[in-house]
Structure 1
Amino acid sequence: MNILNIFLSAGPQGGGGNPTISILFFGGMILVMWLFMIRPQTKKAKLQKQFIDNLKEGDKIVTIAGIHGKVKKMNDNNTVLVEVSPGTNFTIERSAISMEYTQQQQKPADVK
């Protein structure tokens, strides 16, 4: 017999099984969801916030839209002035800066 069938099967009285086992099984499912879905997302959000807070003028960045530029000025209202070419500036939200794309762009190219 399958272990799951043993825990969730009806007992000899014909009842609905042991409610304690069902509650433990449900709690285990919630724990697995937290470990594999919620916890990694919160860690990633924390790293993204730390990355945005550590930006400074002169850093090269990539936005989530794929625009490459250099931080020209950090504004107080959660915006950044980005220079994409000499004389061309954009004002974008800090949350629009991609941590993954920026770190990929800053890695040296692999030489073969």
Structure 2
Amino acid sequence: MNPAYSPIFMTAAFIAIFYFLIIRPQKKREKKVKDMRNSLKVGDYIATIGGIHGKIAKVKDEMVILEVGSDKVKLQIARWAVGSVVKSDDIK
């Protein structure tokens, strides 16, 4: 093998490793979170990225109305602020 090709192969190997270990898994996580946020519906229990837990009362285009606490206080949050959907079994 010609030593002049060695740096080209090493660079290609580093790019491939970087892609498969960092970029590809990150894109999969982003797609999963986007799908979760797009599938929100009334009645789902969610946790926001700020740590607020509640039940969805209404879903608008880019906003979600959230019922929080025993008094059913309504908060309006951005859809991108939803961190995760919580199973209702975990709430009770």
After TM superposition, the score normalised by the length of structure 1 is 0.71
| SS of equivalent to 2:37 | helix
Distance 1:81 1:107, change over 3 A: closer
Q: Aligned match of 1:64 in 19, 35, 49?
A: 49
Larger of the two Rg values belongs to structure: 1
Tell me whether 1:79 sits opposite 2:54 in the alignment: no
Give, as a single letter, the amino acid of the residue that structure 2 aligns with 1:81.
I
Higher relative contact order at CA 8 Å, sep ≥6: structure 1 or structure 2?
2
Q: Which runs of 5+ in 2 are unaligned?
A: none
After TM superposition, the score normalised by the length of structure 2 is 0.85
Give structure 1 regions of 4+ aligned residues with deviation exceeding 3 angstroms: none
C-alpha RMSD of matched pairs (Å): 2.0
Structure with the larger strand share = 2
| SS of equivalent to 2:50 | coil
User: How many residues were matched structurally?
Assistant: 89
Q: Which runs of 5+ in 1 are unaligned?
A: 1-6, 8-16
Tell me whether 1:49 sits opposite 2:34 in the alignment: yes
Q: Aligned match of 1:29 in 14, 18, 23?
A: 14
